[in-house]
Structure 1
Amino acid sequence: MNLIEQLRSVFRPILAKRVEDESKLLGYLGMIRPGQNPDLADYQANFAMPLAKTLNKKSPELASEIISELPKDGLIASANLAGPGFINLKLSDAFLAQALSQIRSDDRLGASRASSPRKIVIDYSGPNVAKPLHVGHLRSTIIGEALHRLLEFRGHQVIADNHLGDWGTQFGMLLYGYKNHLDKAAYEKDPVSELARLYKLVRKLGEAKSDEDEGDTANPVVQAYRQETVKLHQGDPENNRLWKEFMPACLEEVHIIYRRLDVHFDHELGESFYNPMLADVVADCLKKGIAQESQGAIVIAENEKSVSLIRKSDGAYTYTTTDLATIKYRVEHFRADCCLYVVDFRQGDHFKKLFTAAKRWGYPNIELTHVSFGSVLGEDKRPIKTRSGEPIELNELLDEAIRQGREKYEASRSEREERGFRVPELSDAEIQEIAEVVGLGAVKYADLSQNRTSDYVFSYEKMLATDGNTATYNQYAYARCRSIFRESEVEELAFQKQNHPVILGEPQERALALQLLRLDEALITAEAEYAPHALTSYLWEVSKALASFYASPNCSVLKASSDELKNSRLVLCDLTARTISLVLNLLAIRTVERM
């Protein structure tokens, strides 16, 4: 059920009489959009002015002509001329009520599937597993999982591949640390924590300023751990044995976070998986003439300003080499039509060069897209870190979100009790579950509700707010709908099977109905732009419409003037709860039945 598509189907034959070119016709139909002022219009057609120019007419006259040709009954209740040629459209209440009745029995709530499904590999999170995940991994992991779920729901075959950093310099650092600074007792008790300590220690000793920085090359520690890396790559038995010993503990540390965040991958093919393929990548690039030698190294040069190194002068390979091997594997093994890289904006230049090189190498037909995103900032508008200047570990951030989520919930619960509201009796375990759902949901939603390409300031206070565009607000809206059914003593699943008619007698009922029927529009926009914030914006509109409905004295559910009206309003509550739950699940955010 897509209201815009329904409107476009009505306008298509009217415009087709005036526009012969199909691409131009689609462009004009694309100018039918949601109305900017809901009091005046549900939707607005904005094509009269540009079309009038091509037809040598005045736009108000053309708009009036088109309005006169619209069907007089069915979908559109009214069409009015506004301004210099805009057409304001109001949908009929009867149509909206019928549409709601149609989607009630649909688990997808009227959401369509993509007309041309594709096989999509989505690459996200991608941590270096030699160290714990920190806040810098948050956005890729959360945005990637949301897009994974959205694209799959839309009907695409999605392969989620976590391209792990499980090879290279970071393991050279661990090997050096293990051999020179190991606390054996600590390692035997908790290998994950001890390996994390060793990584931080060696990075500090090497004076590396960031995880990407390999440190001062004149520093003997840097020289030592680089040598350990070379030995690992050359197949040194001891270093390979230790690498295999480290990997389970390193992976478990990462997987703990993924389980907490409800993040799932189909594959975790890391750098080590592609390492045996890299010599062939370089040889093939040389054979095809897209790579050449330069001062002992091998490079792919598109022009003087765009040069990618694929083999260093010392024989070591680079990220570009591994990424080319990855593209080759995803095309030839997964048969991918599209590959999405959910990676921060700082890698933009790398991906631009990589995609150009891949197409020149022999892969021109696969869509390669860098789904970039901005940074998470602290209150000082700088990348968020601890007081010591280290990135905040993700586990610590999530623990704090849950702790504050519990504090917020308990304070809100006490306030409602003092004001005389009915508050459910909950066990400590139930309250802790709410705290986890609220806390983790707040972290995710605060990220996903931002425009993906923008930076945002991380604030527990704002993300845990019970009003405004937050996860908590939407989770509470869901719980409120569920509580209405409990108070009505009506079982939802049984109720959903009953064919109760929908009555839209009050403006708040109609406004809520309209938002519920816009689900498909939000999903299509989110997919087209790889923009989860299109879904959070939609949820915000649904929950606001529910709040207005719930607050209106004319829209009482439990005290409705008739059973028919009560059941109609229960239909609205049921569809609202199901819509909120569906969209939050696409964002990997849970709900609770009571709050």
Structure 2
Amino acid sequence: MQSITALLTQKIANAFLACGYDKEYGTVVFSKTAFCQFQCNGALAAAKRHKRNPLDIAHEVNATVGQQAFFTVDVVSPGFINLNLADDFLANYCSQMLQLDQLGFEPSLNPLTIIIDYGGPNIAKPLHVGHLRSAIIGQAIKNTARFMGHTVVGDVHLGDWGLQMGMVMAMFIKSDEHLASLINQNRTEALAAYPIAIQDLETIYPQASALAKQDNLFLAECRWITAGLQKGNETYTALWRNIVRTSVADLKKNYAKLNVDFEEWKGESDSQPVIPSMVDDLRQRGYAYLSEGALVVDVALPTDTSPIPPLILSKSDGASLYSTTDLATIIQRKNQHDPDYILYVVDKRQDTHFQQVFRCADKVGLTQPDLRLEFIAFGTMNGKDGKPFKTRDGGVMKLSLLIDLIVAESQSRLQTVSTSTISAGSEQAAIAQVVGISALKFGDLINARESDYMFDIDKFTAFEGKTGPYLLYSAVRIKSILAKAVAKQIPLSEAIQVNSAHERALLLKITELYDVIHSTFEKRMPNVLAEYVYALANLYNSFYHESHVLNEVDQAIQRSLVSIMSLSLKCIETCVGLLGISVPDRM
């Protein structure tokens, strides 16, 4: 279905056009005031351009609109055009939403192909709290884009190449005599199947990093192995693939806890075959040149207010950098997917890097004819000291530990607010897991993407306020009432009614869903959707406290109330689902 704002805009825009003004002045939006449901401020803008009184223009447009069956118009000084829906139209519109798939949301008429680069973990390293935001923001944007009908590919973009891999492999060889013997004997099949525990991987890299800083011979060995791997040495490649496979299996398990998934598990290694020809091409076309031994591309513009350093394609020793890999990955993605957009969901502190990469890509023609690159920047999750979240001893907290902490706190709180009797053991643990993940994800996503925020476990796990548990509790309570309605054989009504101000306010908020989904995607801001579903839950709870669904004596009203509850549940579940949050059947 068309959104209500689109229907109203069509009417008002045509009236502006009939009066001799641009149709663009007729845009109608949901009102942010209590004076009306919808508003058009176009008369104010038209007055500036045409040197007329805005109130006169608004009255002229109103007269042209005339009497309408489904809405009324009221002109208010200094030129606002206020609109209100007829209750019958609102009720009928919401009845259709309840009956249609995806609540009647129509997929885009011009679907895009979008690649979203999010996650960005490193092989042989555990996920830490710094990986949370990229994963859940990227997933929410992907879910929303797919709901709108776009073709979306999520790519985790693994850090699986370079010196860090040589260090991990060198440390494994140094600490495991049997593994070292397999390397010396070039036993590639045995190396590919060699048992590697994820716990070993998590301890190996810190040990290797510390040793490389103290022992030049070990560092030289790391570089030797790295060079061998990059040249295609079969022995090192077999071990490397084993390490990557083990690490990816653990990453998938941890991402699954967050309801995060990826269509592609590619890494920096996948772009390596593209780099030599790309670098040669940029040199031959005069974009890349040597500067102090490094191969660089100028990306500064005359309009820059601060210096933008050249993009480095390769260092003096020939080593590639992240910028090189990112450019090569753009080429790969164009060849494989021909995307309209590539979105990079990355910490805002990487702004300069992506500015360099995007400018270089534009300059050398990688974005032609119509590929658009976007840096979807986000802020940091901070502790109570206002600094990036750490463990008590000042270290970086593993994401799995953070999840365990918030799930444990959620399980403790569940015991005081349960809507039903939940048996101890696996069911209780499973529900606590869902509630805990909702607390963690919603506590993050409710914040504006580019803002830093403070992690507060007490606030996040509360069952009131802007929290995931509050939303789940609201949804589960609806499920409980609907189950009782089924038991009493109260059917859904095909014709929702509007019988109170609370019902009207709730239904109006539900009809805002289409606009909110579009805004969430266009702004790449999941907090728009998070704020909306919280407001919706509040309006539902106000409606619930004023209604007596199961005891209503008028059967038509009772069926309508049950239908409003069912529609509210569908809307809440759709919203939290797009945010990557599941709703349990009971709590």
The two structures have a TM-score, normalised by structure 1, of 0.90
Q: Residues 15-69 of structure 1: CA distance to partner in whole angstroms, max 9, x if unpaired?
A: 1124555xxx32x234x322122x3111121122221122222122222232333
Q: 1:453 aligns with which of 437, 450, 455?
A: 450
Task: Give matches, 1:159-558, under 5 Å.
Answer: 159-181=153-175, 191-206=197-212, 222-303=219-300, 305-363=308-366, 364=368, 365-413=370-418, 423-490=420-487, 495=491, 499-552=493-546, 555-558=547-550
What does residue 111 of structure 1 align with?
A: 105
Q: Residues 339-375 of structure 1: CA distance to partner in whole angstroms, max 9, x if unpaired?
A: 1111111111111111111122222320111111111
* Code of the aligned partner of 1:372: A
SS at match of 2:530: helix
Matched, 1:60 2:55: yes
What does residue 418 of structure 1 align with?
A: none
* Code of the aligned partner of 1:456: Y
Matched, 1:33 2:29: yes
* Code of the aligned partner of 1:352: Q
1:585 positional shift: 1.2
Residues 196 and 243, structure 2, Cα contact 8 Å, conserved in 1: no
What does residue 152 of structure 2 align with?
A: 158
Distance (whole Å) between structure 1 residues aligned to residue 288 and residue 19 of structure 2 = 53
What does residue 4 of structure 2 align with?
A: 3
Residues 183 and 194, structure 1, Cα contact 8 Å, conserved in 2: no
SS at match of 2:91: helix
SS at match of 2:65: coil
- Pairs aligned (count): 565
What does residue 39 of structure 2 align with?
A: 44
Matched, 1:571 2:563: yes
Q: 1:42 to 1:184 in 2, by over 3 A?
A: farther
Distance (whole Å) between structure 2 residues aligned to residue 531 and residue 74 of structure 1 = 36
Distance (whole Å) between structure 2 residues aligned to residue 480 and residue 374 of structure 1 = 34
Residues 19 and 61, structure 2, Cα contact 8 Å, conserved in 1: no
* Code of the aligned partner of 1:253: D
Q: Residues 246-273 of structure 1: CA distance to partner in whole angstroms, max 9, x if unpaired?
A: 1221111211112212222111111111
Distance (whole Å) between structure 1 residues aligned to residue 531 and residue 176 of structure 2 = 50
Residues 344 and 372, structure 1, Cα contact 8 Å, conserved in 2: yes
Q: Where in structure 2 are there 5+ consecutive unaligned residues?
A: 180-192, 301-306
* Code of the aligned partner of 2:404: D
Residues 485 and 491, structure 1, Cα contact 8 Å, conserved in 2: no
1:312 positional shift: 1.4
Percent pairwise identity: 31
Q: 1:44 to 1:20 in 2, by over 3 A?
A: closer
Distance (whole Å) between structure 2 residues aligned to residue 196 and residue 386 of structure 1 = 17
Distance (whole Å) between structure 1 residues aligned to residue 71 and residue 177 of structure 2 = 74
Q: 1:74 aligns with which of 50, 69, 76?
A: 69
1:179 positional shift: 2.8
Distance (whole Å) between structure 2 residues aligned to residue 268 and residue 465 of structure 1 = 35
The two structures have a TM-score, normalised by structure 2, of 0.91
Q: Residues 485-524 of structure 1: CA distance to partner in whole angstroms, max 9, x if unpaired?
A: 12223599x945xx53211111001111111111101101
Q: Where in structure 1 are there 5+ consecutive unaligned residues?
A: 208-215, 414-421
Distance (whole Å) between structure 1 residues aligned to residue 289 and residue 165 of structure 2 = 30
Residues 128 and 170, structure 1, Cα contact 8 Å, conserved in 2: no
* Code of the aligned partner of 1:335: D
1:223 positional shift: 4.8
1:388 positional shift: 2.9
* Code of the aligned partner of 1:311: S
Distance (whole Å) between structure 2 residues aligned to residue 98 and residue 151 of structure 1 = 28
SS at match of 1:453: coil
Distance (whole Å) between structure 1 residues aligned to residue 555 and residue 168 of structure 2 = 69
* Code of the aligned partner of 2:416: A
Q: 1:40 to 1:98 in 2, by over 3 A?
A: same
Q: 1:114 to 1:183 in 2, by over 3 A?
A: farther
1:189 positional shift: 7.8
Distance (whole Å) between structure 2 residues aligned to residue 40 and residue 373 of structure 1 = 36
1:181 positional shift: 4.0
Distance (whole Å) between structure 1 residues aligned to residue 512 and residue 529 of structure 2 = 11
1:338 positional shift: 1.1
Residues 182 and 198, structure 1, Cα contact 8 Å, conserved in 2: no
Q: 1:17 to 1:489 in 2, by over 3 A?
A: closer
1:297 positional shift: 2.1
1:165 positional shift: 0.7
